[in-house]
Amino acid sequence: MRIDIITVLPQLLESPFEHSILKRAIDKGLVEVNLINLRDYSTHKQKSVDDYAFGGGAGMVMSIEPIANCINALKAEREYDEVIYTSPDGELLDQKMSNRLSTLKNIIILCGHYKGVDQRVRDLFITKEISIGDYVLSGGELAAAVISDSIIRLIPGAMSDETSALTDSFQDNLLAPPVYTRPADFNGIKVPEVLLSGHTANIENWRYEESVKRTKERRPDLLK
């Protein structure tokens, strides 16, 4: 898989891909992540990528020219399955969406900034708009990192225990069950007996019941 992230702040996106599961997936060649500086596609002397909004009002708008130059240059090299724009008015990211995106070959993520992009960018180039929650971030970079992380960890081979993505919260519309590690007894607070029993079927059963219980308590909307 290839993820091309178009941003005005590439430095902000370096660290998330330099550690842990994402770094391993990149090192193994399972995914290629390219941080593309939008300013490199500006034809202005000052490398500006935004301008005042027609009709007035506070805040700058990201201009169409550098974005069009950048996306067209990428598209000349390969086909893209999705051109994603990060925005609080996009479709809410959930596990189902991440599962689907993780099966794609090439995607672009355009990080929004300022008052957003010229509407013509959205009309002409964007195939999917994604929000990571009902709150406003100062830019789309952290959203792009969240989206990429949720996708990359699902690529087969990205996680050391291949089955563990399947038991994540949300994979069956259920939250994950409680987990424990040593010591089995911490100041008299004991780990549930069944987990020490070695009886696989009973453990699976217990985990499923705890998942349902937790989901009912915390996220009953998922059970509908």
The nearest distance, CB 62 to ligand ADE, in angstroms, is: 12
Beta carbon nearer to ligand ADE, 136 or 201: 136
SS (H, E, C) the chain: CEEEEEECCHHHHCHHHCCHHHHHHHHCCCCEEEEEEHHHHCCCCCCCCEEECCCCCCCEEECHHHHHHHHHHHHHHCCCCEEEEEEEEEEECCHHHHHHHCCCCEEEEEECCCCCECHHHHHHCCCEEEECCCCCCCCCHHHHHHHHHHHHCCCCCCCCCCCHHHHCCCCCCCCCCCCCCCCCEECCEECCHHHHCCCHHHHHHHHHHHHHHHHHHHCHHHHC
Residue 87 or residue 102: which is nearer to ligand ADE going by CB? Answer: 87
Q: Which is nearer to ligand ADE, 143 or 174 (CB)?
A: 143
Residue with Cβ nearer ligand ADE (145 or 174): 145
Task: Figure out which of the listed residues 117, 132, 158, 165 binds ligand ADE, where binding follows CB under 6 A.
Answer: 132
Which of the stretches 15-23, 72-80, 133-141, 171-179 binds ligand ADE when contact is defined by CB under 6 A? Answer: 133-141
Choices 19-27, 137-145, 159-167, 205-213; region in contact with ligand ADE by CB under 6 A: 137-145
Shortest distance (Å) from residue 59 CB to ligand ADE: 13
Minimum CB distance to ligand ADE smaller for 114 or for 170: 114
Judged by CB under 6 A, does residue 145 bind ligand ADE?
Answer: no
Q: Is residue 101 part of the contact set for ligand ADE (CB under 6 A)?
A: no
Q: List residues binding ligand ADE (CB under 6 A).
A: 86-88, 112, 131-133, 135-137, 140, 143
